Structure 1
Amino acid sequence: MQIIQNRRTFLVGLSAAGGAGLLKVRPSNAAEPPPETTTVRLGRWNNAAYCWGAVYLAGELMRADGLTDVRYVEVDHTVDNSQWLARGDTDFDMNMPSMHISLIEAGVPIKILTGVHTGCFELIANDSVQRVTDLRGKRVGVGNIGSHPQILVSLMANYVGLDPANDINWVESRNPIQSFMDNEVDAVLSAMPEPLMLRAKKIGHTVVSNEVDRPWSQYFCCMVAGNADYVNKHPATTKRVLKAILTAADLCASNPELAAQELIAQGFVPNYDDALGTLRETGHDKWRDYDAQDSIRFYALRMQETGMIRSSPQQIIANGTDFRFLKELKRELKT
């Protein structure tokens, strides 16, 4: 009964937002083919990943659009969530372009389908680091080598002429943010809502924000990829999944207060202020304007330059992307 009530409350809230001219929620056109399957599996972090708001809130929209078996799967949190998709634990994953590209380079059959938003990450540092070039010889905290924070900071460093393998002292830590707060490292890549907490405590300063600082702010930080077999076998279902995620992204951008309330009500995250702050700081309205393919090209080129991949951006795009659904939805979901 509680699930039904939450669903009704959420959909009523969406309707109210739409009535205010902020969001239009409508089921798929009757002319659209029916979903080939009504089951979809999405990952779920344990009281974390506030930037996953659009994916979390999309579940009720999918159910309202005929996908009756939407599962948020509790999976292995000791690995990057790209491995959830690679292992077959989930059908879709939202992740940094670099992590999707790494799977494509490794031959994992996935398709990158859409960008969702910008602005998840900030490189935070102490006073010894005022710009990225100052990372030479400094300690940078990461969960582990090969994690997406380590990859992104490496790309930032290489972009300004540093050799990330030799110029940076990478410090692996079970809690890089705490290591930074304890002055055990000089810099750390923080993910929303961590920058909000550090600013509130007046700890460190922002060196790079991928919401406002170019070139990183010009490209998606979070993109959705799907299992290639699922996408190929279930195109109508896939389109409904993406439609729900992008509609939820519209809500996150236009009414972050309602979106944050629903994230709490549905039990996905524990703190309203952190949820609201994250939604306000991330560009959920960018999916309409940014070029998803250009984001893949940019990150693939940066990764090729650092030796992380051998494939060219053109090969990555040809082998691992499918933007036909996004093109259709940009037309259909015009405000």
Structure 2
Amino acid sequence: MQIIQNRRTFLAGLTAAGGAQLFNIRPSKAAREPPPETTSVRLGRWIDGSYCWASLYLAGELMRADGLTDVRYVQGDTNVDNTEWLTAGVTDFDFNMPSMHIRSIESGASIKILTGVHTGCWELRGNDSVNGIADLKGKRVGIWAFNDHPHVFLSLMINYVGLDPVHEIEWVLGISPMQDFIEGKVDAFLAGITELPGLRAKKIGHTIISNAVDRPWSQYYCCMVAGRTDYVDKYPAATKRILRAILKSIDFCASDPASAARELVDRGFLPSYDLALITLKEAQHDRWRGYDSEDSVRFYALRMQETGMIKSSPQQIIAQGTDWRFLDDLKHELKL
């Protein structure tokens, strides 16, 4: 297989040859780099889905083609946020919201944020009594659990408009916030990307804010990659290959969502082609080429500091918990 030299040729080859040919593409400069110090890596996987992890799922075969022959997708404890899989050493790399990575860094976890992936995973839906985030004062807001990523994200948005998310919001716990909304038990809830088509088609509530289009949230990543510090430091050549595979996979998701969705389903990562395609079309996978990953960490760390979730400054979080060396090299290689 010819070594692909740039993004445009890579994407054109994928589109012309079809999704299956994705797994025959070798990264452009790996053959001239030191061999990976390890051939093993553990990546997270939710067995029942997690559609916004599409690029992580598709990157595995690119990693294998690049010398990481033992790529394992593992699922940790489903009763905790998946960032805890990373901090507990169950996985080596993790996809999550910057807020969850930052919270781990604040707690002393030895992880490094490496790059952003995309934005556009969430939409706040409300009933007729809610026309803006400020209208949530005194309202019932549905969540799955306290301190998980939807609750944290909502709290940041609420604090941003001057409300106290602890004392001025009535948080309502439920197995399905969407169903609680339909039954009138809550006034608003945060809808995930795969829920949006059904909500829109049935006209269930209306959009209060979308992090795909509404500032400032649309200007920053909602999914970022972090790795265990000991893996990143001990295996830099392997880490660069892993990150390269993820970035190329992100490009594939952006350029040919239909083929990417088919690969995700055919390879057993996701159960629904339609939901996979919707996710790939709704999420902004092309943003990694224009957004500044460090700026996203800075923005979320500042919001979390203002909300009282962390004590560290954004500068301290960036210094302690980020490593942009690999991204900077790959941006040059991939002709950003």
Aligned position for 1:7: none
Q: Please say if 1:111 is aligned against 2:112.
A: yes
Structure 1 stretch displaced more, 257-266 or 172-181:
172-181
Aligned position for 1:196: 197
1:148-183 Cα offsets, whole Å, 9 max, x none, are: 111111111111110111110011112222222222
TM-score, scaled to structure 2: 0.92
Alignment of 1:249-268 (within 5 A): 249-268=250-269
Whole-Å separation in 1 of the counterparts to 2:143 and 2:204: 18
Alignment of 1:286-325 (within 5 A): 286-325=287-326
1:266-300 Cα offsets, whole Å, 9 max, x none, are: 11111111110110011101111100000000000
Q: Which amino acid aligns with 1:309?
A: I
C-alpha contact 1:157 1:163 (8 A) present in aligned 2: yes
Whole-Å separation in 2 of the counterparts to 1:278 and 1:153: 21
Structure 2 gap segments, 5+ residues each: 1-9
Q: CA deviation at 1:334?
A: 2.1
Aligned position for 1:26: 26
Aligned position for 1:240: 241
Whole-Å separation in 2 of the counterparts to 1:216 and 1:316: 19
Q: Which amino acid aligns with 1:222?
A: C
Q: CA deviation at 1:312?
A: 0.2
C-alpha contact 1:252 1:279 (8 A) present in aligned 2: yes
Q: Aligned pair in 2 of structure 1 residues 332, 25: CA closer, same or farther (>3 Å)?
A: farther
C-alpha contact 2:118 2:288 (8 A) present in aligned 1: yes
Alignment of 1:158-173 (within 5 A): 158-173=159-174
Whole-Å separation in 2 of the counterparts to 1:181 and 1:76: 30
Q: CA deviation at 1:197?
A: 2.1
C-alpha contact 2:62 2:245 (8 A) present in aligned 1: yes
How many aligned positions are there?
Answer: 323
Structure 1 stretch displaced more, 77-86 or 28-37:
28-37
Aligned position for 1:70: 71
Whole-Å separation in 1 of the counterparts to 2:165 and 2:267: 41
Whole-Å separation in 1 of the counterparts to 2:178 and 2:85: 24
Structure 1 gap segments, 5+ residues each: 1-12
Aligned position for 1:279: 280
Whole-Å separation in 1 of the counterparts to 2:182 and 2:325: 45
C-alpha contact 1:111 1:228 (8 A) present in aligned 2: yes
Aligned position for 1:209: 210
Alignment of 1:78-117 (within 5 A): 78-117=79-118
Q: CA deviation at 1:80?
A: 0.7
Whole-Å separation in 2 of the counterparts to 1:225 and 1:289: 19
C-alpha contact 1:304 1:310 (8 A) present in aligned 2: yes
Q: CA deviation at 1:25?
A: 4.3
Q: Aligned pair in 2 of structure 1 residues 148, 189: CA closer, same or farther (>3 Å)?
A: same
Whole-Å separation in 1 of the counterparts to 2:177 and 2:79: 15
C-alpha contact 1:25 1:247 (8 A) present in aligned 2: no
Aligned position for 2:7: none
Q: Secondary structure at the match of 1:193?
A: helix
Q: Which amino acid aligns with 2:326?
A: F
Task: Give me the identity figure in percent.
Answer: 64
TM-score, scaled to structure 1: 0.93
Give the aligned CA root-mean-square deviation in angstroms.
1.9
Aligned position for 2:335: 334
Q: Which amino acid aligns with 1:257?
A: A
Whole-Å separation in 2 of the counterparts to 1:41 and 1:180: 37
Whole-Å separation in 2 of the counterparts to 1:224 and 1:170: 29
C-alpha contact 1:15 1:25 (8 A) present in aligned 2: no
Q: Please say if 1:17 is aligned against 2:14.
A: yes
C-alpha contact 1:41 1:73 (8 A) present in aligned 2: yes
Whole-Å separation in 1 of the counterparts to 2:120 and 2:277: 14
Whole-Å separation in 1 of the counterparts to 2:11 and 2:315: 39
C-alpha contact 2:15 2:256 (8 A) present in aligned 1: no
